C-alpha cells in the first residue's frame, strides 16, 4: 500500500504526517530522516490497528502538485 505523506520544512527541522492515518506523525533534523521515521510510524500505526482488531484503511488520499504562475 502507498499512503500520502505531507512533509513540511520548519526553521530547524522537518515534520511529516499522513492524512489518512490521524495522529500518525514524525519529525527529524533532515528530510531523509523524517521520511524514514514516518515510514516506521506508518508501520507501527498499522501494527497497532491489527493488534486491536481494527481494519487497516485503504488509502483514499492522493496528492498532486499544481503549478501556477504566482507572479
The pLDDT profile of the chain, 71 residues, written as one tens digit per residue, is 899 999 999 999 999 999 999 999 999 999 999 999 999 999 999 999 999 999 999 988 888 889 999 87
d(CA 59, CA 71): 35
Query: pTM of the prediction?
Result: 0.86
d(CA 58, CA 23): 16
Give the total residue count for the chain: 71
Q: Which residues, listed in sequence order, are joined to residue 27 by a DSSP beta bridge?
A: 15
Give the burial class of 16: count Cβ atoms within 10 A of its Cβ; 0-12 exposed, 13-18 middle, 19 or more buried: buried
Grid cell at residue 43: 508501520
Amino acid at each position: 500500500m502507498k499512503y500520502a505523506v505531507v512533509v513540511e520544512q520548519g526553521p530547524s527541522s522537518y515534520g511529516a504526517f499522513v492524512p489518512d492515518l490521524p495522529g500518525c506523525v514524525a519529525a527529524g533534523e533532515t528530510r531523509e530522516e523524517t521520511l524514514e521515521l514516518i515510514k516506521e510510524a506508518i508501520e507501527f500505526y498499522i501494527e497497532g490497528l491489527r493488534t486491536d482488531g481494527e481494519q487497516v484503511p485503504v488509502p483514499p488520499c492522493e496528492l498532486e502538485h499544481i503549478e501556477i504562475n504566482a507572479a
